[in-house]
Amino acid sequence: MSDIQSIVIVGGGTAGWLAAAFLQRTLSATRPTPLPITLIESPQIGTIGVGEATVPTLRATMQALGLPESTLFTAADATLKNGIRFNGWRKGGTAAEDSYDHPFDMPLPFNGYPATVHWLNLMQRGMLQPPMAEACTVQTRLYDGNQSPKLMHSPDYQAPVSYGYHLDAVKLATLLQQTAIERGVQHVQGNVAQVHRGPAGIESVELDDGRRFAASFFVDCSGFQSLLLQKTLDVPWESFSDWLPCDRAVAFPVAYADENAPLRSYTTSTAQDAGWTWEIDLQSRSGTGYVYASRFCSDDEAVATLQRHNAGRTALAEPRLLRMRVGHAARAWEQNCLALGLAGGFIEPLESTGIYLIEWVLQLFVDHIAPAGDSTVCRDRLNRAVGDVYEELRDFIVAHYALSQRRDTPFWRTCTDPASMPPRLAELLQLWDAKLPTPTDLDKRLSLFGPANWTYILAGMHRLPSRGIGLAAHIAPEVSLKAMEHVRSVRQMASQQSPTLRDFVRKLRGAV
Ligand code: FAD
């Protein structure tokens, strides 16, 4: 693999165009002549066209591509995201006390301990009540004021707190397409009808008009059908459907009441009878969808649920029904082919991990193309890491369901059945009944979700250590009270400084 001479990418969704732009940028940098990269996409088979919420890693990826942040606001309808708000996941219904936040920021430190330790110290002494994220982080204050994580004059890709984007996935793919093509990627429109295989892997792909494209390396970005990796190289699929029953989604955008309507600077995820709905505020519209399990809910019921959820708002398009295949290919990289995006794996978008996984695998791949030595060892290592990260993310997502107290529908009874929990997760939850999550609990910790992220979910679902607070037991309650006071004052300061998201976006667009 040290000797990639040319690349053909099949698929022109977010995965395909991100791969084209990223590989062009990274692999051509050290070569005397640019690496020939060709991207083939079908004009007939559309892209999935969803994927509107991101995590903070996209900022680094956009920077690595050399794109100014303003392009996202002008070309991809982007807004800013402080994190996610989960409604109704613990008990169902709309009670405010059944709502919790998962912000991107870490709990503030005070006197050598994260605020979460101080919070738990006070909670267990009966001196404080949930919610935790509100008491321990700055960022959730910005949720409540619909405020931007960036200040008006924050430099590109920077802010006082961490942040991601809400954006139009189709427009993001178009932005990446323009960037890749301007930089020399060849764009071919056509349907791949046949894939030719040889002893070293894929030899060429043939379009239905007879054109044939050979390369030394292929990237499969063909979406759920995984034309190259699975259909041609026969790499098996490892399904997560035993643990994550949601296999469909319906989506449609809705209009804002008026042009001054507040923009929520967080993704909203609301538990429903057979899954959950999302709401994602972009500049020009709000994206909404319902992720559901077809075993427990028909497509018609799903559409009706989403329409009910959006009652009073004007739909801007007909509902789009999508099928999802949850799991991952046993090996992301086989012979001379790497699968990215839906072709390589998919976990339901509860924590916005789709685009993140594309970025993550791309970076790993570029890091593992051996300039010298044995390439097999690099490929095996990448495959192991990708498999591990999928399992880690699966457990994180499953925990959102498994910790629920809901038993009111067949879906929730299934999701909360202890028998339907991966053993690794069952062990972690047992551990966290005894102590707060700390870094050594997570054996590999490959993904971006660490102890603080787990703590937000556990605390939000009221699943905290029943006894014993470890290190916190040695902290005097007066110190922990001061910690809470410190967080409150930083929250207030942040709220005074931050513009509303609506004002931020308006000013930015006016200025460009
Ligand atoms: P696709 O968009 O399906 O693209 C496949 C491409 O392959 C198309 O260009 C198609 O033309 C081409 N193709 C297929 N067959 C052929 C052929 N025979 N010949 C030539 N070309 C072919 N991710 C997030 O990060 N955040 C989110 O909030 C989020 N929400 C999601 C919600 C839902 C309901 C779903 C299903 C996914 C969501 N995702 C999200 C994931 C995200 O949408 C995908 O990771 C991302 O769009 C990548 O898709 P893709 O490019 O792999 O596949």
CATH number, domain containing residue 196: 3.50.50.60
Helix, strand, coil in percent for the chain, rounding step 5: 40, 20, 40
Tokens of 453: 């992220």
Give the pLDDT band (50/70/90) at residue 512.
Answer: very low
From the alpha carbon of 17, which atom of ligand 1 is closest? 51
* One domain for residues 62 and 196: yes
Mean pLDDT of 37-59: 94
Q: Which atom of ligand 1 is nearest to the CA of 15?
A: 51
Q: Is 354 in the pocket of ligand 1 (CB under 6 A)?
A: yes
Same domain, 172 and 161: no
503 in any annotated domain: no
Mutate to test the pocket of ligand 1, among 167, 222, 303 (most ligand atoms within 8 A of CB): 222
Q: Please check whether residue 252 is in contact with residue 288, taking contact to mean a CB–CB distance below 8 angstroms.
A: yes
Q: What is the pLDDT of residue 51?
A: 75
CA torsion angle 236 242 246 248 (round to 10): 40
CA triplet 342, 348, 352: central angle to 5 degrees? 90
Query: Is there an atom of ligand 1 within 6 Å of 11 CB?
Result: yes
Distances (CA, A) of 163 to 126, 266, 343, 476, 488: 33, 10, 27, 34, 20
Q: Is residue 126 part of a domain?
A: yes
Q: Which of 135-139, 445-449, 450-454, 485-489 has the lowest mean pLDDT?
A: 445-449
What is the pLDDT averaged over residues 300-323? 97
Residue 510 in any domain: the answer is no
181 with 161, same domain: the answer is no
Residue 315, domain CATH = 3.30.9.100
Same-domain pairing of 398 and 487: yes
Q: Rounded to a whole number, what is the distance in angstroms from the first to the last CA of the chain? A: 43
The ipTM of this complex is 0.99
pLDDT at residue 166 in the model:
98
Shared domain check, 157 and 305: no
* pLDDT 10s digits, 153-201: 999 999 999 999 999 999 999 999 999 999 999 999 999 999 999 999 9
Q: Is there a single domain that holds both residue 177 and residue 148?
A: no
Report whether residue 13 contacts ligand 1, using a CB cutoff of 6 Å: yes
Judge whether residue 134 has pLDDT over 80.
yes
176 in the same domain as 68? yes
Cβ 41 under 6 angstroms from ligand 1: yes
- Is there a domain that residue 96 lies in? no
What pLDDT shows up at residue 444? 83
Helix locations, 353-465, DSSP H: 354-368, 375-402, 410-415, 423-432, 451-460
> In this model, does residue 63 exceed pLDDT 70?
yes
- Residue 358 CA: nearest ligand 1 atom is 45
**Residue bearing the CA closest to ligand 1, atom 38:** 51
Ligand 1 pocket check: which of 50, 84, 207 to mutate, most ligand atoms within 8 Å of Cβ? 50
The answer, yes or no, to whether residue 442 has pLDDT greater than 70, is: yes
Domain of 412 in residue numbering reads as: 102-165+393-497
pLDDT reported for residue 232 = 98
Say how many domains are in the chain.
Answer: 3
At 398, the pLDDT band (50, 70, 90 cuts) reads very high
Q: Determine the pLDDT at residue 74.
A: 94
Domain boundary among 322, 353, 382: 322
What does the radius of gyration of the chain's CA atoms come to, in whole angstroms?
A: 23
Length in residues, the chain: 512
Place 466 in a pLDDT band, splitting at 50, 70 and 90.
low
Judge if 110 and 156 occupy the same domain.
Answer: yes
- Is residue 1 over pLDDT 60? no
- pLDDT above 70 for 203: yes
Average of per-residue pLDDT values in the chain: 94
Burial of 222 per CB tally in 10 Å (0-12, 13-18, 19+): buried
Helices and strands of the chain, counted as H and E runs: 15, 23
- Mean pLDDT of all residues in 289-300: 98
DSSP 8-state secondary structure symbol assigned to residue 216: S
Match 């894939």 to its residue by tokens. Answer: 195
Give me the mean pLDDT over the 50-71 stretch: 95
Of 322, 354, 383, at which residue does a domain stop? 322
66 and 20 share a domain?
yes
> Is pLDDT of 502 > 50?
yes
- Cα–Cα dist 308/313, whole Å: 10
Sign of the C-alpha dihedral computed for residues 476, 479, 485 and 487 taken in this order: negative
Residue 412 within any structural domain of the chain: yes
- For residue 467, name the pLDDT band (cuts at 50, 70, 90): low
Domain annotation covers residue 86: no
Q: Is residue 508 part of a domain?
A: no
Residues 407, 363 share a domain: no
Does residue 40 fall inside a structural domain? yes
Claim to verify: residue 225 and residue 357 sit in the same structural domain: yes
Q: State whether 254 and 309 are in the same domain.
A: yes
- How do 37-41 and 7-10 pair as beta strands? parallel
The last residue of one of the domains, among 299, 322, 345, is 322
What's the whole-model pTM score?
Answer: 0.96
